[in-house]
């Protein structure tokens, strides 16, 4: 791995960590597009790598700050975590079965729809 690649990955990680803690964004909205655009990853590689980041407790300190401030519901986390594990497994099977072009388009459409909902929400 070259120094420019390491620096690019560090910048992607820092931006994803910051936006994840500040706005609830990260993997799908920051890491995946950044790996595709700046690192030349395929959509499949970017999504797999983004999920790989979640395997480690990367958000632990950010979550701890929210917990100390009373913004974390532990009961909800437990239920969401179980559902996330199952959904992640099923979603990866679905994603892997799709051709790259279709997966990329579906990813873009999903982010666009979510963005429009947030922008035009009353």
Compute how many other C-beta atoms are within 10 angstroms of the C-beta atom of residue 84: 13
Domain count, the chain: 1
Q: What is the mean pLDDT of the chain?
A: 86
Answer whether 64's CB lies under 8 Å from 49's CB. no
Alpha helices in the chain (DSSP H): 3-23, 32-39, 43-55, 60-68, 74-97, 100-120
Q: Which backbone phi and psi does 41 adopt, to 5 degrees?
A: -70, 155
Q: How does pLDDT run across 20-68, given as a tens digit for each residue?
A: 777 667 768 888 898 999 999 998 998 888 888 877 777 788 888 889 9
**What token pair was written down for 81?**
């975590």
Q: How far apart are CA 60 and CA 70, in angstroms?
A: 15
Domain residues for the domain of 7 are 3-120
């Amino acid at each position: 791995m070259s120094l420019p690649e390491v620096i690019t990955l560090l910048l992607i990680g820092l931006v994803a960590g910051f936006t994840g803690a500040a706005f609830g964004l990260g993997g799908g909205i920051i890491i995946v597009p950044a790996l595709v655009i700046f690192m030349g990853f395929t959509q499949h590689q970017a999504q797999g790598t983004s999920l790989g980041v979640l395997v480690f407790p990367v958000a632990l300190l950010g979550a701890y700050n929210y917990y100390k401030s009373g913004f974390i519901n532990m009961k909800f986390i437990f239920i969401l975590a179980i559902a996330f594990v199952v959904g992640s497994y099923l979603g990866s099977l679905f994603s892997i079965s799709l051709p790259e072009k279709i997966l990329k388009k579906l990813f873009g459409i999903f982010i666009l729809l979510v963005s429009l909902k947030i922008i035009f929400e009353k």
